[in-house]
Structure 1
Amino acid sequence: MKNRFLKGAAASLVILTTLAFTSLNKEINIKESKVTWKGEKVTGSHTGTIQLKQGHFIVEGGNPIGGEFVIDMTSLINTDLSGESKGKLEGHLKSDDFFGVEKYPTSKLVITSISKKADGVYGAVGDLTIKNKTNKVTFDLNWKQNSASTMLSIDRSKYDVRYGSGSFFDNLGDKTIYDNFDLAVDLKF
């Protein structure tokens, strides 16, 4: 009887350990998730949104360990202008001067490592691909049971998005557009 109890306890322990360390994909609810962007220039800034096409986190033992997200670049929208100005800015951002969405309709973030920093806060490292150029990005990820959020600052010049960049062109004056743009990401599962 004692032997059967030990075997049963050992089997239960193996099953629980396997379940605890089995990774699974936690799919993003793309309709409920939101990505907002902000780009700045010498004379002001513009804001807007962009949609995820698909995405998931890899979760192990309740903790994120990786993930992959595809951004629909054709969904890029400006939210601080209206009418003709809005249409012109959106068209320009989608043109080859900026993101060339006809040739590059998606961008991708692949999270390659995540480590816990504090309760609900993880340090993440990933490969961000925009216009077929991939660079490492690091950011803090705020993790909850049914959501995750982060702020990223992206240097567009690393992705061959150089229009109006003071890093590449002289004498732009007040037409200079800063290289970094910010993304505020609010994901729902």
Structure 2
Amino acid sequence: EKTFLSQKEGNYVREKTYIYDLKNRKVKYIKRKPGTDKVKIKFIKIPSIPFQDIVTATFYFRKYGIFEVGKETIFPIFAGGKFQNVSFKVVGKEKLSTPFGDIETFKVIPSNNLSPEGAFERKGKVIFWFTADKRHIPVKVIAEVKIGSVSAVLVSAKGKNFDLKKEYEKQRKKSLLEKVMSGELGGD
């Protein structure tokens, strides 16, 4: 298997190729600076099942992480031409206001070594919020990076037989109806 990454951010330009030999548990890592003859080649042994970047690491955590306040999930990642262990720690549970309404979430902070290169290189905290249901959908992330700060909020989530906005609207209506029926809302 082969992965190619072309990264262009201002003056930072790199092309990286990863050639995976899973049978022999090795990766050939080729880093080039376009327009020059500079090529760096490394052969790296795969210690266990690796993940290539912050995105795949986040989705691995979403599926297999320990979602309990105070708990930490640690696993290997292949980034920047090397393997390293990264961790995601659940630091709290909080209600977050989202385009879907107020959602109960887990607040999660990844270890400092989880960082891309270039303009989005991490320079401070990164915080994720995942839904507190069994799907653990990432609904928000904020990060302090080399060029400033970045914030991303999930605004749509649809799939086969799945529409997050409609789900939460249905839950809100049900909750409102329960409050009216119990006498919590409404007149005497």
The structure, 1 or 2, with the larger RCO (C-alpha pairs under 8 Å, 6+ apart) is: 1
When normalised by structure 1's length, the TM-score is 0.28
